[in-house]
Amino acid sequence: MQKVSVDKDKCVGCGLCEQSCPEVFEIGDDGVAHVKANSCNLHDLKEIASNCPVEAIKIS
């Protein structure tokens, strides 16, 4: 089972991941992205990770 994580020190809270897959990503009150789930049947998480401007999303 894959694991999705966001490096909170790198994330700039741009919101792109949340827009791309709100099932998995959510911008928290702290202004950075949080992970709600480790998989999504609707969206390509690897592509979303590669689109993060600061490469904060890891899928392992």
Whether the CB-CB separation of 45 and 36 falls below 8 Å is answered with no
Scanning residues 1 to 60, which ones bind ligand SF4 (CB under 6 A)? 6, 11-17, 25, 33, 52-54, 56-57
Take residue 43 and report the two structure tokens written for it.
């969206």
- Residue 1 Cβ, how far from ligand SF4 at the closest point, in Å? 21
Is residue 6 helix, strand or coil? strand
**C-beta closer to ligand SF4: residue 45 or 57:** 57
Whether the CB-CB separation of 45 and 59 falls below 8 Å is answered with yes
Q: Could you list the residues that contact ligand SF4 (CB under 6 A)?
A: 6, 11-17, 25, 33, 52-54, 56-57
